[in-house]
Amino acid sequence: MIRRPSTEDILGQSLHELMGSKPLGKITVKEIAGNCGMTTMTFYRHFHDKYELAFWIQRQSVAPGILRLSPDYTWKDFLQDRVSYLVEDRRFYINLYRDNSGQIRFMERFAQNHFRLLESRLKEYYHLDSLSEDVSFELQFYLAGCSLFLETWLCSGMKYSQDKLIEHFIRVIPSSLRPYLDFA
């Protein structure tokens, strides 16, 4: 069955297109809506502001991979796919990462979002009511570090290969997280 794009999808595509030529901070809601033939009223029925839309775009791109984690699709597979995606769409993400005019830096929100998604997936996969306080802390710390480092790597010209980056991300997994991220 053919999936019809939602209003959110269309607005997301509009913002994505506009960010190919200018940073998020210089784009207005009126431009986003007008670029796809919608009104600002329609925009505000779906999103609070352009920052919420930008975060929605990012969340839509990462959630399917995290929900797929299993012995057949490992944390390393996810990281490889995610980094490749960010490199392919680097103009959009560099514009997003460099924008500090929203209420909270995007990388902080991304790390929080990744944590919530991954925490939920781990609890579901391992049939847990919750993660221990230590595992939860280390997972948040690891994801925040990876997010910040990924932003730096992408915005500073990707000075070493994607494979080397993934190798580092795998190597620095805290030992208490390894059993969880192995999905064995």
- 87: domain CATH number is 1.10.357.10
Query: Looking at the domain assignment, is residue 33 inside a domain?
Result: no
Query: Looking at the domain assignment, is residue 36 inside a domain?
Result: no
Chain segment 155-181, per-residue pLDDT in tens = 888 888 999 999 999 999 999 999 999
**Structure pTM?**
0.85
Residue 110's pLDDT is 81
Nearest CA among 171, 177, 169 for reference residue 134: 177
Query: Looking at the domain assignment, is residue 57 inside a domain?
Result: yes
Average pLDDT, stretch 75-84? Answer: 94
Query: Looking at the domain assignment, is residue 109 inside a domain?
Result: yes
Query: Looking at the domain assignment, is residue 2 inside a domain?
Result: no
* Domain hosting residue 158, numbered range: 50-181
Query: Looking at the domain assignment, is residue 165 inside a domain?
Result: yes
Q: How many domains does the chain have?
A: 1
Tokens of 163: 């494979």
92 pLDDT band, cuts 50/70/90, is confident
Supply the mean pLDDT for the chain. Answer: 90
Query: 22: buried, middle or exposed (CB in 10 Å: 19+, 13-18, 0-12)?
Result: exposed
Report the distance separating Cα 81 and Cα 110, nearest Å.
Answer: 16
